[in-house]
Structure 1
Amino acid sequence: MNDLYSISQILKSHPLYAVERDGIHALFLELAREGRLSADQVLTGLRFRWPELGEAMTKNHELFKKHCEESLQLKMQGVNFVVYGEVLYPELCYQMADPPLTLSYRGSPAWLNARTLSVVGSREPAADSLLWMEKELGLFCEQQRPCIVSGGARGVDQKAHSVALRKFCPTVVVLPSGLGEIYPANLKEWMGLVIEQGGCFLSEYDHQQKMHKHLFHHRNRLIAALGRASLLVEARRRSGTLITAHQAAQIGRPVWVVPGHPLDPHFQGALDLLMDGAQSVRDAQDLLMFFQSETAGEQISPAGVGALCEPQHYL
């Protein structure tokens, strides 16, 4: 039973969490550095720093019991949980402006692979874009064995996951819904192979959370954060793909763009990014060069939390 996860789930649903989020996250990190991150220690810290919040959490015995029972049932069904500050929490997410307090996943914590690449693009890509991915992204995957991160949507997202799986690379499917309401529904057919090859389905939402339109943009910031860089294959102006690219740039991650013809509306957003300073990627060799340069330095660490354990890499 993951009491810390249950407490954290209740905590993030409280109205004061949105107001005191940064301070609460700081409490979790402080406890993690001291090796004291647990449900009891979190409650003690809340009561001391935010008495109103601590009191509200302490009084919710029945709700806490319910969450614990649900978490145990999900754990028995193969669902895993990770909380902000824990060893398995994605290091790259600590640089986000609003990192998720909790995550749930089916499969392996493939984000621990230091060689992650986020791939985003249109839901209705041109045939040439899919051909480029098959040839150039496929060759890159053969040479580098990265972990490919994307959102599972039809089009570029599913093509990225497909290429990764066929090249025996792990892939992280970041959902705009809970793990109990996988969207799009056809992704359920992918789960076995994704897990078998060391990847996972990942969500920051409640298990039974259905997909909502506003969750796509919210989810996209997590895709941007989980990649050491973001590759944009095709994007119109005012698209969710552009939002993901801007979110990646805001946290200092490189954005690499497959260029297209300026008269093709499918590529106008991508060309705008190139004008704003993104790097153009022509083929696998460009991608290889940029990726090797980006991953040659120190691995990003979460304000001292990474020192709690030896780094692990999932291939």
Structure 2
Amino acid sequence: MNSATFYDILEVPENATTEEIKKSYRKLSLKYHPDKNKDPETVSKFQKITEAYETLGDTEKRQQYDMTRNNPFHKAMNMNMGGFGQNGHFDSMEEMFSNLFGMHFGSMPHQGMPFGMPHVQIFKNGVPVNMTHGLQKPTPIIKEVMINMEQVLTGATIPIDIQRWIVDNGTKTFENETIYINIPKGIDDNEILILSDKGNIAGPNCVGDIKLYIKISNTTELKRQGLDLIYEKKITLKEALCGFSFDIKYINGKNYTINNNSGNIIPPGYRKVIPNMGLTRDQHTGNLIIIFDVEFPVKLKEETIQKLKDMPFF
């Protein structure tokens, strides 16, 4: 997998849109999350997936990645003698190792990296070091947050418990914290909320994120379709012709009575739209849509058939 590109890792084509990359990342990060997948290689795969998305999910970083990957001389030219300060010395140990294991060696700009050179990851105090930017941003803390449909309807503030690690002077410690997060109205299942700089701490100004995967438990009779709520109602042929009355239990537990007077015939598949009774998000509100399924009798008695034939509207 060393030769795999970030596109290969995220299982998307090189011309994939940002939305396609995001969708594939969500699927793969759930599949290879260490808490859900016990395969010994899961942690490594998950880290590669996260690293790939952090690059391809950012437009500017993706452009730089594509340019460097497609033009290997570009990186070599940019790195030419760049690891030395004005006096010809390396500015830091990280820079020295970066140049040693980068595209060239020492002060010879045209000397290339030998074939078969293994990938070398540098660590400082147990934390990965990014060759270019110092300490590497820690892998995000992943949490799954379960909410119900009423919380989707109204929005909510809920507590989550997290454990982060902190590296300070070479010592790694752990701390627990309860964080209160705001769940916006109308949030969708499998959406991701990112709490920036609230995760693991690798050092000063090097703090990871928390990624919250939203899971929605819907135990109501209402199905979601975007911001609309769908209620499927079966009625008899008699009710379709002669009228009916029934109650709908809404997401918040309230009962609403739906009446249809005799004379208002309901055809099969009829959709009754009740405006602004759906979910709200970003100042947009959906509708409550009742879809009627008219059940026809399997068989009629002969006298009933004759009565129907005698009726003027048949």
More helix by share: 1
TM range (shorter): under 0.3
More strand by share: 2
Which structure is richer in relative contact order (CA contacts within 8 A, separation 6 or more)?
Answer: 1
TM-score by length of 1: 0.23
